[in-house]
Amino acid sequence: MSGAATTADPIAVRDNRATAIQVALWGSLAIFAVLILFGAFTTDGFLTTTNVKAILSSVAFVGMIAVGTALIMISGNLFSLAVGSTAAACAMSFLALLPDGIVLAIVATIALGAVLGLIQGLLVGGIGANPIIVTIGAASLIQGVALWASSGATLVPPKGDTSYEWLNGHILTIPVPVYILFGAVILLDLLLRRSRFGRQLKLVGENREAARAAGLPTTWIITGAFVLAGVFTAIAGVELGAFNESGSLLIEGNLTYDAIAAAVVGGVAITGGRGTVWQALGGAILIAVISDILLLRDYSEGVQILVKGVIVFAVVILTRLNRMRLES
């Protein structure tokens, strides 16, 4: 079998490399899974219904933002540092609009997320502005507007309003946001694999200039990725507003880093072109489980952030080493 992989047959070499990538990926995933499982089963209180529900809720929020982040990454524009602020602002907008009816509150909030994504996407996709800088600037602007509009107050739902309670409900003991997340992932996966937009998104992420030279509307494809990311972040914002029953900029917490870490750890290529929303979901589950284990074992907030950072570090270095070995 290895005889086929002589240098004379580039296709066979490429196939072998692809196999090697697969083996390396699955190998490291398996080792990691074993470590996590060990940690999980030796931690008191991990395998309780309440805890599993807590993990699922956390996955639902972070996962929703992570799949949006994955789209930005696949488009070759790294990640957005504004997703946490966007989610917080959307939670606030949802709660502020609740008195006008839940349908309006949800629709307007999702539209808000889309517009925020549209503006950032046009800057990044249209004139090639750096996505990191645009999104930290946007985060600052979003926080400013949110502070101004709320006069710095924490928003709460109207007294006696139960119209949003279904968002905190359970179907077959699984929280509603989990169903919404799975629906979103299936939809986005179809969009990425079956639609022209999805294929073009990967091409743009692989090589933006080549895609442009080939006549693809790169501006609109990248903008599309940012708009979708804005929409899914806004949905997470709605869920977070309903879940916390209060909305302020503090909701941001670690959401931004968790979502980025989830997409990176899931194996979405930070340099663009490769990755699926399922991977981002897997990453979100992993990050949620690790956070949960650390929380149950009473590790400090510092350790929790540090562990995520080290995992991101490890994943990006391993991915790079793997690529270098295969390229040499």
Partner 1 sequence: MSARLPSFFRYRGTTARPFVILAAFAIAFALLPTYASGEVGSANVFNVFQALSGIGLVALALGLTMIIGEYDLSVSSTYLLGGMLAVKTGGDSPFLGVVVAVAAGLLVGFIQGFLVAKLRMSSMPVTLGGFISLLGLVFLISNSKSVNYSDLSVSIWLNDPVMSIFSARSLIAIAIFLIAAAIFAFTWLGRDVRAVGSDREASRTAGVRVDSIIIGTFMSSAAISCFSGALLSYSLAYATPNRTVAPLVFATTMALLGGVSLSGGRGFPLGIAAGAISLSLLNEGMAVTAAQPYVTYLVTGGLLVVVTIIDAPHLLRWWKTVKARNNIGFRGGSGQLATTKAGDR
List of residues contacting partner 1 (CB under 8 A): 78-79, 81, 123, 126-130, 132-134, 136-145, 147-148, 152, 215, 217, 252-254, 257, 260-261, 264, 270-271, 300-310, 312-313, 316-317, 320-321, 324
Q: How far apart are CA 249 and CA 242, in angstroms?
A: 15
Q: Are 90 and 242 in contact (CB under 8 A)?
A: no
Nearer to partner 1, 135 or 181 (CB): 135
Cβ 218 to partner 1 shortest distance, Å: 10
Nearer to partner 1, 263 or 281 (CB): 263
Fill in the amino acid letter for 210. A
Nearer to partner 1, 34 or 321 (CB): 321
Nearer to partner 1, 11 or 127 (CB): 127
Nearer to partner 1, 79 or 94 (CB): 79
Cβ 185 to partner 1 shortest distance, Å: 24
Strand intervals (E) in the chain:
170-171, 174-175
Q: How far apart are CA 59 and CA 255, in angstroms?
A: 11
Q: Are 306 and 93 in contact (CB under 8 A)?
A: no
Cβ 193 to partner 1 shortest distance, Å: 25
Cβ 137 to partner 1 shortest distance, Å: 4
| H-helix segments, 195-300 | 196-206, 208-213, 218-244, 255-265, 277-296
Stated length of the chain: 328
Nearer to partner 1, 185 or 284 (CB): 284
Nearer to partner 1, 163 or 244 (CB): 244
Cβ 168 to partner 1 shortest distance, Å: 26
How many Cα atoms occupy the beta-carbon half-sphere of 184 within 13 Å? 28
User: 184-216 burial, b if ≥16 CB within 10 A, otherwise e?
Assistant: bbeebbebbeeeeebebbbbbbbebeebeeeeb
Q: Phi and psi at residue 174, in whole multiples of 5°?
A: -105, 135
Nearer to partner 1, 5 or 305 (CB): 305
As beta bridge partners, residue 171 has 174
Cβ 201 to partner 1 shortest distance, Å: 18
As beta bridge partners, residue 175 has 170
Q: Are 252 and 84 in contact (CB under 8 A)?
A: yes
Cβ 226 to partner 1 shortest distance, Å: 14
Cβ 83 to partner 1 shortest distance, Å: 12
